[in-house]
Amino acid sequence: MQIEHPYLLFLGDVPDALAAKTATGIVDWRKDWCAGQLRLEGCAADTGLPDITTAEAKAKGVKTMVVGAVNAGGRLPDHWVASIVEALDAGLDVASGLHVRLGSIPAIQEAAQRNGRQLFDVRQNTETFKTGKGTKRKGMRILAVGTDCSVGKKYTALAMDKAMSERGYKSSFCATGQTGVFISGRGVALDAVIADFIAGAAEWISPDTDADHWQIVEGQGSLFHPSFAGVTLGLLHGSQPDGFIVCHEPTRKTMRGVDTPLPTIQQVIDLTIQCGQLTNPGIRCIGIAVNTAALSEDEAKSYLEKVSAEHAGLPATDPVRFGMEAIVDKVASEFGAP
C-alpha cells in the first residue's frame, strides 16, 4: 500500500502515552510528515504536535488521517467512528493499524465511497504477491535480523537509513511491519502475508533500484524463534541482503513468549549467512546493534567493546544511544564510499 502524507494523527481518547505508540513512533522518525494531532476529550496522550481539526488539516495540505492509537483487542471504539467519517467528509484518506477493517464499519465505508477516499488497513494486504523467485535484483540491501523478536530491528533499520543518507549514500527504508509502513508510507505487514508469498512480498518491498542505491529493510522475528522463524526466513530469502546487522538485547535469557533459550549473536550470524546464501552468495554481517536501555552508559560502552572483540572486530553500537556511524564506516570499507 502507498499511504500519502502529510499526516493528521488521530489519538482518540486513549488513557496514556503507551496507547498512542503508533503515533509517537511516527513522530519520532517522520515528524516532518505530520501536520498535527486530533484528540478527543479526555485524551491523556500527546505527541507534541499542534491540536488541529480535520478542516484545518485539509487546509494545511494533509492527505491522510492516521489512527495512531491502539486499545485492547485492536478494536475501533464506536465513539471514534464519527471522527473518522468527519475526516473522510473533509477529503482525507484514513489509515489504521487496528485489527478491525475500516471498511467493515458501514458508516465509514459509506463515507469513503461518497467522498471517493481510500481506506488503508495496514495490517491487511490488498496487493497480490507472487512467490519468491530468488532472481538477483539491482541495487544494494541491508537487513536487520535479531537474536529475538522485539529487540530493535525497526529502530536499527531506520537509524541506519538516516545515518547513510547523512553520509551521502542513496538510501531508503523498507517497511515490513505496520508502524514501519506508516513511517515509510509504503510497505507490507509481512506477518499478515500467506506463507507461500512471504519471500515474494519481500522482493516487492525491496525491488530493483539504481546500482548504488541502498535499501535498508526492517527485520521481523528471529530465525531461532519457534513462533516467527518462518516469516524471518522468507524475509531473508526475498530481501537478498548484501549485508545484515544483528540486533540484540543483552538481559534476556529466553525468547519472548516461549521457553526457548536465546541464541548467541554468533549463532545468528552463522545461520543468517548459511540461509541467506541461497539468494545472495555474498551476504555478510556488517555490524551488531544492541539495545542497552537496561545498562548504564559505562556498562553499555563496556558491553559493546566486549561484543565487538568477541566477533572479529565487527562494529557494535546502540543505534539510539550512540548512533550508527561505526556501521556506516563498515559499509564504506566493505562496499565503497558513496
pLDDT of res. 97? 85
Q: pLDDT confidence of 18, banded at 50, 70, 90?
A: confident
Q: pLDDT confidence of 192, banded at 50, 70, 90?
A: confident
Q: Kindly report, residue by residue over 93-111, the tens digit of the pLDDT.
A: 999 988 889 999 999 999 9
Give the residues across from 67 on adjacent strands: 10, 96
Run of H or E including 8? strand 7-12
pLDDT of res. 150? 85
Q: Are residues 82 and 195 in the same domain?
A: no
pLDDT of res. 151? 92
Q: Are residues 243 and 208 in the same domain?
A: yes
Instruction: Provide mean pLDDT across the span 225-253.
Output: 97
Q: Which of 93, 121, 149 is where one domain is finished?
A: 121
Q: Are residues 58 and 158 in the same domain?
A: no
- On the question of pLDDT at 81 being above 70, the answer is yes
pLDDT of res. 223? 98
214-226: burial string, b at 16+ Cβ within 10 Å, e else? bbbbbbbbbbbbe
Residue 172 lies in a domain: yes
Instruction: Provide mean pLDDT across the span 4-21.
Output: 91
Chain-centroid distance, C-alpha 11? 20
Residue 330 lies in a domain: yes
Q: Are residues 167 and 297 in the same domain?
A: yes
Are the beta carbons of 272 and 238 closer than 8 angstroms?
no
Strand ranges, E, within 86-238: 93-96, 119-121, 140-146, 170-174, 213-217
Q: Are residues 72 and 183 in the same domain?
A: no
pLDDT of res. 73? 59
Q: Are residues 323 and 192 in the same domain?
A: yes
Residue 2 lies in a domain: no
Number of domains in the chain: 2
- What cell was used for 90? 473533509
Residue 214 lies in a domain: yes
- On the question of pLDDT at 245 being above 70, the answer is yes
Q: Are residues 290 and 162 in the same domain?
A: yes
Q: Are residues 109 and 12 in the same domain?
A: yes
Residue 31 lies in a domain: yes
Supply the range of the domain harboring residue 65. Answer: 7-121
Q: pLDDT confidence of 211, banded at 50, 70, 90?
A: very high
- On the question of pLDDT at 182 being above 90, the answer is no
Residue 229, domain CATH: 3.40.50.300
Are the beta carbons of 249 and 151 closer than 8 angstroms?
yes
Residue 134 lies in a domain: no
Counting Cβ atoms within 10 Å, is residue 301 exposed (0-12), middle (13-18) or buried (19+)? middle
Q: Kindly report, residue by residue over 147-181, the tens digit of the pLDDT.
A: 999 899 999 999 999 999 999 999 999 999 888 98
Q: Are residues 325 and 201 in the same domain?
A: yes
Residue 45, domain CATH: 3.40.50.720
Q: pLDDT confidence of 1, banded at 50, 70, 90?
A: low
Q: Are residues 49 and 102 in the same domain?
A: yes
Run of H or E including 147? none
Q: Are residues 107 and 235 in the same domain?
A: no
